[in-house]
A and B are shown apart, each in its own frame.
Chain A
Amino acid sequence: MDTAFASEDLAFRDEVRTFFAQAYDEELDSRLSTPDPKVYKQAIVEWQKRLHEQGWIAPGWPAEYGGTGWDATKSYIFETERAAAGIRDVVPFGLKMVGPVIYTFGTDEQKQHFLPRILSSDDWWCQGYSEPGSGSDLASLKTKAERDGDDYVVNGAKIWTTYAQHADWIFCLVRTSSEGKKQEGISFLLIDMKTPGIKVNPIVSIDNHHSLNEVEFNNVRVPVANRIGEENKGWTYAKALLAHERTAIAEVADSKRKLEQVREFARAEVNGGKSLLADPLFQKRLSDVEIELMALEFTELRVLASVATGGAPGAESSLLKIRGTEIQQAVQELRMEVAAYYQGAMPSELTAEALGHAFGREARQAYMYGRASTIYGGSNEVQKNVIAKAVLGL
């Protein structure tokens, strides 16, 4: 057992740190934080292209497909430095979700066509799994794909599709058979969002932003060549992806940085003549979260190390997802506590100076949207069911 960094890792850390300091600036940061989805899209694509130029856009991918080929330690260092620099993670749908599915299960043509465009952020992907009637019970999905010559004809509706309004492509789970077990009649399709018959309806969420959508499919023709793997085996491919998604959702490095921010905000906040950080009740609240996070950081390292030596993230990813999202929500709540009266202020024409407080509004947005992290990626209740079954054998 040894968790100290080797000297080459330390050199790598400095390299990453220098890159982030030079390549990322406040101007980009403010465009990334805007409530305007269009400005956000342009900014995040711009940032991802910079990462791509550097060759660091896909740390988790094998080198032969354009990944970095880093070991677990380097990937960990990269994530930690990114978060510490206050830089958000890349949009996951292409790079962390469908990309790995395509390079693992796709045909050569699919790999050649899609992977470079994912790496360069020229295609924006969205995830079409959930349906109005199928959330936790995803395998009950009803969106139908029927064979007609070299095409499938797709009918149905997906919901909660994040950033469908930006997307060039959607990866979908569709029903190709209603025989046998419900998991066994599902196929994995890649669908061009420009195909006639697709309609995207916006859903405004409780943070007052528009990132969610309902996507309707009305006789949408999809070439059979856009199917991943075999017909009716889509569930297997989707499951392989879910574990990756959950591990990413834990966002340990981001929580670490945000907790440090909370500490600094609290230090500056005065309560009855004293710094809020000196308040024993607040200290307890803060340390309760920090201690959990210290532990989770090592839990994550243990999972990463086992993956590096050939294990797959299985039920451990559920543990990371549960505790990671609980910690995110606790940190968001602490920010709200620090922002006190200003936590409710809505975005308006007013500058932060006029309002009298710089971070209340951001605290609100993060807190409200943050309620979703225990719901998406497989709700925390469902993750507990997974652990009960797969780990405890119940």
Chain B
Amino acid sequence: MNFDFSEEQVMLRDSVARFVQDDYDFDTRRSIAASEAGMSREFWQTFAELGWLSIPFAEEHGGFGGDAVDVMVVMEQLGRGLVLEPYLETVLLFGGLLQQGGSDAQQSDYIPAIIDGSCLGAFAYLERQSRYELADVATTASADGDGYRLNGEKVVVFNGGNADHFIVSARTSGEQCAEQGVSLFLVAADAPGLDKLAYSLMDGRRVVNLVLNDVKVPAGNLVGELDGGYPLIESVVMQAVLALGAEAVGIMGELNAKTVEYTRTREQFGVPIGSFQALQHRMVDTFIAYEQTRSLLYRAVCALTDAEEDAATAVHALKVMMDRAGKHIFGEAIQLHGGMGITDELDIGHYAKRLMMINTTFGNGDYHQAKFNALRYN
């Protein structure tokens, strides 16, 4: 039994931490968030040069061959810095689908370009009606000559404005909510018939709604098995939840540390407010919530890495706790900062917003608790 990081992982962690510390202060982040793209291409190239974009990919494509622990190490630090660049979207979702389900040709076409920073990707899986059900897919792909023709609408596509390529989930057979019959397709951002409606989310991220109007793709753009895209989605999303869990833990740690620090310096009634026991106990509770979330993160990462039978249970449990502990921790952070916590100027509210967005990504706490209940008690 050992919870230590390897030497390589410690180096990786320190390198991301150093970047956040030296190059990604809150003002820099604020100006990136306000820029048109909502991300910095320059920093993205830095990520490429530092090797971070290669982590989960196989060595044969120039990847680092890393596992979920390596990804976790990076994501936690990105969380601490509230980094906006689309690591999850491009490397873990778009790249993850290709790494796990792409053909040899697709992998050699796209993965090296992801690794060198030249290709940005996005995964378009949500629809207006789908809420959190990944299998609720009404967008259709029908056979058309030697390819497919896609019609429908995808919503809230993270990194959709910057992506050069999308992977789109579409129905090739079956009923609207059936797992069987979902397929995945590569679609170029400039494909004829593809319309994008861009807007921002409260965590500074840019998203698009995609309208697909007779978008034609060649047969070679099918990712994974025809009608068999769902298990691939599920598996990549499971990994992505762990990554989000690590990001969330990074954020929670920052919120707790900043709050403790603030209560040490802010004085009311002639003493630091941190000397009030009523507040001390609250901060002890958020500290415990943070440690507990980290433990579940480690548990889920280990279970998934070792392909344990109850891995899915652990991942659901983690997502439930991220939701509950996240709201608890940012709620207390804002409250204990008093009026300051309500300002846009302070970073506290921005950490809170990112946690909220993480909660809704791939299902909120209730959604995962229902899944957990079904696995454990049915």
Contact = CB atoms under 8 A, between A and B. Distances in A.
A is bound by B: yes
Contact of B268 (A135, A374, A376): A135
Interface in A346-364: 346, 348, 350, 354-357, 364
Contacts of B129: 270
B126 interface: yes
A272 B352 CA distance: 28
Interface string B343-357: 111000100110011
Given A205-B343, A337-B364, A381-B278, A350 B131 contact: no
A341 to B, nearest CB: 5
A333 B360 CA distance: 12
A369 B342 CA distance: 8
B262 interface: no
B116 interface: no
B197 interface: yes
A272 B279 CA distance: 41
A342 B361 CA distance: 11
A162 B136 CA distance: 45
B339 interface: yes
Interface string A92-121: 000000000000000000000000000000
Contact of B199 (A133, A135, A348, A381): A348
Interface in B124-148: 126, 128-129, 131-133, 136
Interface string B272-301: 010010110000000000000000000000
A212 interface: yes
Interface in A239-280: 269-273, 276, 279
B58 interface: no
Interface string A274-299: 00100101100100000000000000
B341 A271 contact: no
B369 interface: yes
Interface in B327-378: 327, 331, 334-335, 338-339, 341-345, 349, 352-353, 356-357, 360-361, 364, 366-367, 369-370
Interface stretch (B59-67, B103-111, B200-208, B236-244): B200-208
A341 B156 contact: yes
B209 interface: yes
B269 to A, nearest CB: 5
A133 B131 CA distance: 45
B321 interface: no
Contacts of B128: 356-357
Interface in A169-213: 203-206, 208, 212
B131 A272 contact: yes
A371 interface: yes
A381 B339 contact: no
A328 interface: no
B155 interface: yes
A106 to B, nearest CB: 29
B357 A371 contact: no
Given A208-B344, A364-B202, A272 B335 contact: no
Chain B residues touching A, majority SS: mixed
Given A272-B136, A333-B327, A371 B341 contact: yes
B344 A206 contact: yes
Nearest to B348: A206
Nearest to B339: A160
Contacts of A371: 331, 334-335, 341-342, 352
A281 B369 contact: yes
B177 interface: yes
A360 to B, nearest CB: 10
B351 to A, nearest CB: 11
Contacts of A343: 356, 360
Given A204-B343, A285-B366, A270 B131 contact: yes
A375 B342 contact: yes
A352 B152 CA distance: 18
Size category, B interface: 35 or more
A28 B261 CA distance: 45
A327 to B, nearest CB: 14
A159 B356 contact: no
Interface in A135-182: 135-137, 140, 159-160
Contacts of B343: 203-206, 212
A372 interface: yes
B155 A279 contact: no
A137 B126 CA distance: 49
A162 B166 CA distance: 45
B324 to A, nearest CB: 12
B203 A344 contact: yes
B31 to A, nearest CB: 16
B253 to A, nearest CB: 20
B268 A345 contact: no
A345 B339 contact: no
Contacts of A385: 278
Contacts of B200: 345-346, 348
A29 B369 CA distance: 38
B177 A381 contact: no
B349 A271 contact: no
A208 B177 CA distance: 37
B209 A354 contact: yes
A80 interface: no
19 contacts: A160-B339, A204-B345, A269-B131, A270-B131, A271-B133, A272-B133, A272-B177, A333-B327, A337-B364, A337-B366, A344-B353, A346-B202, A348-B199, A356-B155, A372-B342, A375-B339, A379-B338, A380-B335, A381-B279
Given A344-B353, A380-B335, 18 more contacts: A133-B267, A140-B269, A203-B345, A206-B334, A212-B342, A271-B131, A281-B369, A337-B366, A340-B360, A343-B356, A344-B202, A344-B356, A346-B200, A348-B200, A356-B128, A356-B209, A357-B128, A369-B342
Interface of A: 130, 133-137, 140, 159-160, 203-206, 208, 212, 269-273, 276, 279, 281-282, 285, 333, 336-337, 340-346, 348, 350, 354-357, 364, 368-369, 371-372, 374-376, 379-381, 384-385
